[in-house]
Amino acid sequence: MTRPLFVHLGCSKTGTSSLQAGMWRSVDAMRAVGVGLPFTDRDEHMAQLVRPLGWQPVEGFVGQPDEARLARAADRLRSTPGERVLVSNEDLAELTPGSAARLAELAAEAGLDLRLVLTVRGWADQLPSEYQQFLKHRMTLTYPDFVQSVRDRAGEWAERFWRRQDPVRVLDAWSGLVPPEKVHVIGVPSYAKDPDGVFRIMGETVGFDHTVVARPAGALNSSFGVVEAEVWRRVNVALGDRLPRFTREYGASLRLPFERGVLPKLASPRIGLPDDVVPWLQEHGRGNVATLRERGYDLVGDLDRLVPDDDAGRPVVVPSEREVADAAARALADLAVRHNERVTTIRARLTAPRAEAPRSRWLRRSR
């Protein structure tokens, strides 16, 4: 019997960080229950599968496939032990019809039966979450402008939100490639109310005991408050085109320090959903649920979560200039301390006494 390959496409901000961290820490335990993980961290997924399929930051799958690396990816998929194979990366939500077809070919080359898994949440949660995520990618829009742009589907950031978060658009790319009964759409429960929910439902869908997955301590990729988000946005504005290399410059110098404590998380009120957006989200959510049901996908969990309640909106908190200035000053001080710690560590390494290198046999004989 052909082994199934489950490709978890995302969407992002649906508990993917916690789920992936848990699975990658549990490779041996997953293998013991019959699930093979060919790529065991985000870097491996990106380097060996996502980027070779043509993915580029912000732009999505606009590049040409790297066939040599994809051939190695097929070999990795084929040689991964287990009754079933699982790949998980939320950037795969952005696949175009062409790159989705190439991934389907890759599964066939590896002799695997392709299945899709899409985890989804309602946009009442996703709009505030993705706003913060896009700030980490240099976005400079204010939150109200971002929400309006998504509603109007206007601009690069709105288009990226739709690419990553609209389940109908995500699955449109796979039309004709995977039968509907092999497409599993999971309505993810709230992490705060059911922290095991995404692990449990993923286990039921793929076919493994979810309790073997080591749970990360607390939620990963947690949120910033309105003040801290505004500080990040203004820093992006001030940077302009500087630090153009995203990973080596922007990521190393700003994103990582901000994510790892320079900007405290949830130190100010949460970013909420404007009241006047709720009716539009309800209409859009109902349309998506109806389409997903009509297409005959395997629907898991409560898909009605995609439709926000009438009371989902709340007044948008606008931070004062004093709050933003105080938070920015604290962030600058913490960034200076962190930079000093880094410099001190580098100096210590440079000045540490080095053991004398062993003399080569030729040098000893010549002397």
Percent of the chain having pLDDT more than 90?
77
- Asked if 50 and 7 sit in the same domain, the reply is yes
Are 237 and 116 in the same domain?
A: no
CB 151 within 8 A of CB 280: yes
Q: Is 109 a member of any domain?
A: yes
Cβ atoms of residues 8 and 37 within 8 Å: no
Is the pLDDT at 143 greater than 50? The verdict is: yes
362: pLDDT strictly greater than 50: no
- Distance between the two ends of the chain, CA-based, in angstroms? 68
Task: Please list the alpha-helical segments (H only) found in the chain.
Answer: 16-24, 27-32, 42-45, 67-79, 97-109, 123-135, 143-152, 156-165, 167-172, 197-206, 226-239, 256-257, 278-294, 321-351, 361-366
Is the same domain home to 195 and 302? yes
- Which position has the token pair 């692990």? 199
Which is more confident, 181 or 348?
181
pLDDT > 60? residue 364: no
- Residue 55 main-chain phi, psi, to 5 deg: -75, 140
Average of per-residue pLDDT values in the chain: 91
Which is more confidently placed, 217 or 188? 188
95 and 208, same domain (yes or no)? yes
Query: Is 207 inside a domain boundary?
Result: yes
Average pLDDT over residues 245-272: 89
Residue type at 140 in one-letter notation: T
Q: What is the mean pLDDT of residues 258-284?
A: 91
Tell whether 181 and 244 lie within a shared domain. no
Read off the amino acid at residue 169.
R
Domain of 107 in residue numbering reads as 3-221+275-306
With respect to residue 312, please indicate whether it lies within any of the assigned structural domains: no
Any domain includes 314: no
Could you tell me if residue 126 is inside a domain? yes
What is the rounded CA–CA span in Å between residue 12 and residue 130?
A: 8
Residue 29 maps to a domain: yes
Q: Specify whether 162 is located in the same domain as 247.
A: no
Whether 10 and 28 map to the same domain: the answer is yes
Specify the pLDDT at position 351: 85
Mean pLDDT, residues 189-196: 82
Q: Tell me what the mean pLDDT of segment 62-90 comes to.
A: 96
Q: Could you give the number of structural domains in the chain?
A: 2
Q: What is the per-residue pLDDT for 358?
A: 57
Q: Of 14-18, 226-230, 284-288, which gets the smallest average pLDDT?
A: 14-18
Are 212 and 232 in a shared domain? no
Model confidence at 356, in pLDDT bands (50, 70, 90)? low
Lowest mean pLDDT among 203-207, 320-324, 349-353: 349-353
Per-residue pLDDT band at 367 (split at 50, 70, 90): very low
**Within this chain, do residues 100 and 73 fall inside the same structural domain, yes or no?**
yes
Kindly report the CATH number assigned to the domain that includes residue 156: 3.40.50.300
Does the structure show a pLDDT above 60 at 132? yes
pLDDT digits (tens, 9 = 90+) for 89-118: 999 999 999 999 999 999 999 999 999 999
Cβ neighbours around 228 below 10 Å, total = 28
Asked if residue 311 belongs to a domain, the reply is: no
Between CA 365 and CA 367 the distance in angstroms is 5
